[in-house]
Structure 1
Amino acid sequence: MADIYLALIHAPVYNKNMETVATSITNLDLHDIARCATTYGVKRYYVVHPAEAQRQLAKRIMGFWQEGYGADYNPDRQEAFSRVKIADNLAEVYAEIKEMHGIGPIKVATDARKYANTVTYSQLREDMETSETPILLLFGTGWGLLKEDVENMDQILEPIYGPTEYNHLSVRSAVAIILDRLRGH
């Protein structure tokens, strides 16, 4: 079975006006996605941000739960954060996964829109079960990954649809739904 990795991208992403921006790292995204990643056996959850101040903020938040009082108070949080790595950029993420496996990951973007190389959850799940090639799921913050970045991925996972026209989930919710569809029982 393929190992799964997650990358939460904070820049470049779109804002609500479809302008290219950098978003802030949030406490909730750190905690909730780390816990979800651990529950579903994700090898590593990368939080990608180019700004040093944002990376330091994330490390400080996680440090509270990994050492001292926070670690003693909630050991489960410490375990979840052991899978999180803060990265400057995607090149760093790709290189680390390639170094661990001897092969680069299959890069799978997530988006609320359909593209030409969109794959279904059942297709990707089958690929994960029959291949040893690592899978990197990329999630964009804000209003999502840039269109050109999505189009440069190996695959694009189909959007999550509910029964209404409204389609703007938090990234935390999207991660949970997608991981359950790909790794749940």
Structure 2
Amino acid sequence: MSRVRIVGGEWRSRLIDVSTVKGLRPTPDRVRETLFNWLGQELDGRRCLDLFAGSGALGFEAASRGAESVTMVEQDPVAFAALRDNAKALQATRVQLVRGDALKFARSVPQPFDVVFLDPPYRAGWIERIASLLPGLLTEDGVVYVEAEYGIESIEGLTRIKHGTAGQVYYHLFAACA
């Protein structure tokens, strides 16, 4: 088991446990700092979805920064158990954990989100499989953060507004097309 630190907000500098699930890569501190600079440091009133929660670094960071609610979806039982333990340790009352398949969850979302975090396992085709559902997950002014092992120029129905790289990580921010 390893640990990552929350970089901002109410839980700044708190450590969360990361399970040793194969392929789990928590978003690096530097990338999370950049992302939350893009989003604005405070997420007050925003509804967030962490679709492939994994370590929970993105979702807990959003909750720490005042998100109204954060829904974290994770299928792996070991990773999910770590998410549950971290949520309990942080007393994260605005975090809802869902154990299940991200694609099935995305198809049945009852109401849209302001921010969607999409950091699926690499080399498994998840982004291609879920891309058509992304516009439907967003509020009118919602954004999608996508992390991948390659650069993404476009996703149908979305406009890329920011992007960057850090080592082997390509990260992007997309907004709903006007």
TM-score under structure 1 length normalisation = 0.31
Structure with greater strand percent: 2
TM-score under structure 2 length normalisation = 0.32
